[in-house]
Amino acid sequence: MSPSQESILSEYEADTSQTSKLIRKFKEMPFVPIGMAGFTAVVGYGLYKLKHRGGMKMSLHLIHMRVAAQGFAVGALTCGVLYSMFREYVVKPKE
């Protein structure tokens, strides 16, 4: 193997813990954890409000919460894609 391949492999092997991989991915795509946190918050709020839904049917309440949670997750992913496109095409790093 060439020295450049050995350095890549040793770097990959040194970065094998799940938390370090997760932190690295969060740094590369910061909107993914925001989407996950928002999805969890909407689901938690929906479960909390499940008791106090008034006269609304449970199925209708669950549909509203599902749509809100999916909307938050899709919105965060869309912002992430736009952010990465902005970084790649507008703010081109010097090569």
Distance CA 36, CA 92 (A): 28
Domains in the chain: boundaries: 5-91
pLDDT band at 6 (very low <50, low <70, confident <90, very high): low
Distance CA 32, CA 79 (A): 9
Question: Averaged over 83-89, what is the pLDDT?
Answer: 85
Q: Which pTM was predicted? A: 0.60
- Per-residue tokens: 9: 């492999």
pLDDT value for 11: 56
